[in-house]
Amino acid sequence: MMNPSSTLAAQHANARSWQNLSLADYGFAAFLLLVAGIAYSRFHGFMDVYEQGILVGATASLIWLGWFWKPMRLFFPACLVLALAAIGLYGGELARAQTAFWLKYVLASQSLVMWMCVLFFLATGAFWFGLLRRSATADSIATGLAWSAAGAAGSWFFVRWYESYLIGSDVGHVPVSNLYEVFVLFCLITNLLYLYYQQRFATRRMGAFVMLVITAAVGFILWYTFDRQAHEIQPLIPALQSWWMKIHVPANFVGYGSFSLAAMLGVAQLLSARGVLADRLPSYEVLGEVMYKAIAVGFLFFTIATILGAAWAADAWGGYWSWDPKETWALIVWLNYAAWLHVRLVKGWRGNVLAWWAVIGLLVTTFAFLGVNMFLSGLHSYGTL
């Protein structure tokens, strides 16, 4: 039974947290509630009861995130304003993306992705310059570029969603349905996770390594766009025509983004242990602590995504688990990070062994995400290159 004094202390802590909310916090919540209300009034005809529930849940989650991490109070509205500007310029005609100047070069979804790619490349260079030259100015510029890239990706999400409905109401879907779309989502989530830990631990010197994995994803996006024309919006295949996709995929990519961030910090920690850039990077202990927190967050969301995926499988195929290659490798990823957390929390492991484990874990995760689609066949074979 819980100690009464502990219960009272928890109640006081909750009361203080509510009292600490500012007028800006309540204004942010009111803004998102207004946006959600407008979205519901305009598009409820396209929503079933589950999607209406997702709208409520997403709104509540974004409000909480904005209260928890203050920069979100500016980031979300900025993305929405840019997206609404693009929607206004379309005027209900998709063809305007090729004729209207601001759409063609700035605000159409493909233009926003190209800006995102450029900004990430610039941010990576600026972070490395700041790390190697110990330049606080370069670090500040790099952070600004990373936020700008996140803004482009966040706006892209809403604009592409709208563009899909301009093609046809039967085509319209949330943009998390193919490799092109989820790689943009990966860049956005991984970048925001990094920016949070940068602020939380008051250091910008981790960005040089984290941006490398984001830049690799950007390179894939560019190749996939120009070589495979993957940026073109396609109707959903029957297997993806489900409301489960809207929550399963984002939860999965919080996991993937967190694991990727942890792996790059593992690389930084291993270099630091050998004396490489040790005097420029955050301390060995800080790198290990951020790596642990990233894996903990990733494991939580990957667990949620796996449960949601099982529920989706039961809805689509009549069974929660079929030992499909994708499901099997998802279990391997889950067990890998469960074991990582176990040995750190229960056995007290620290240091290089966990850093190597995080790096190798990213290879396992990458195969589970891409390799299975490329080399193995199964119920999830619709995600091929």
Q: 61-118 pLDDT, tens per residue? A: 999 999 999 999 999 999 999 999 999 999 999 999 999 999 999 999 999 999 999 9
* C-alpha pair distances (Å), 193 with each of 70, 200, 310, 319, 371: 14, 10, 26, 34, 25
- Asked, for residue 62, whether it belongs to a domain, the answer is no
Query: Same domain, yes or no, for 209 and 287?
Result: no
Query: Same domain, yes or no, for 289 and 329?
Result: yes
- Asked, for residue 229, whether it belongs to a domain, the answer is yes
Query: Same domain, yes or no, for 146 and 182?
Result: yes
Query: Same domain, yes or no, for 271 and 371?
Result: yes
Is residue 189 a contact partner of residue 155, using CB atoms and an 8 Å limit?
no
Query: Same domain, yes or no, for 139 and 189?
Result: yes
- Asked, for residue 149, whether it belongs to a domain, the answer is yes
Query: Same domain, yes or no, for 230 and 256?
Result: no
Query: Same domain, yes or no, for 220 and 274?
Result: no
Residue 174: pLDDT band by 50, 70, 90 thresholds?
Answer: very high
Query: Same domain, yes or no, for 160 and 132?
Result: yes
Query: Same domain, yes or no, for 190 and 276?
Result: no
Is residue 248 a contact partner of residue 308, using CB atoms and an 8 Å limit?
yes
Query: Same domain, yes or no, for 156 and 285?
Result: no
Structural domain ending residue among the three candidates 180, 210, 236: 236
Question: From the CB of residue 244, how many other CB atoms can be counted at a distance below 10 Å?
Answer: 18
- Asked, for residue 341, whether it belongs to a domain, the answer is yes
Query: Same domain, yes or no, for 265 and 170?
Result: no
- Asked, for residue 263, whether it belongs to a domain, the answer is yes
In this predicted model, what pLDDT tens digit does every residue of 241-254 receive, in sequence order? 888 999 999 999 99
Q: Say what angle helices 179-200 and 109-133 make with each other, to 10 degrees.
A: 40
Q: Which domain holds residue 103?
A: 77-194+202-236
Q: Region of 172 please: left (phi>0), alpha (psi -120 to 50) or beta.
A: beta
Q: Which structure tokens are listed for 27? A: 């204004």
**Residue 204 contacts by C-beta under 8 Å, 6 or more apart in sequence?**
127, 130, 139, 140, 142, 143, 198
Alpha-carbon span 96 to 107, nearest angstrom: 11
Residue 6: pLDDT band by 50, 70, 90 thresholds?
Answer: very low
- Asked, for residue 30, whether it belongs to a domain, the answer is no
- Asked, for residue 48, whether it belongs to a domain, the answer is no
Give, for 312, the enclosing helix (H) or strand (E): helix 284-317
Query: Same domain, yes or no, for 219 and 258?
Result: no
Mean pLDDT of 191-206: 96
The structural domain count of the chain equals: 2
Residue 378 or 267, more confident: 267
- Asked, for residue 146, whether it belongs to a domain, the answer is yes
Alpha-carbon span 225 to 103, nearest angstrom: 18
pLDDT > 70: percent of the chain: 93
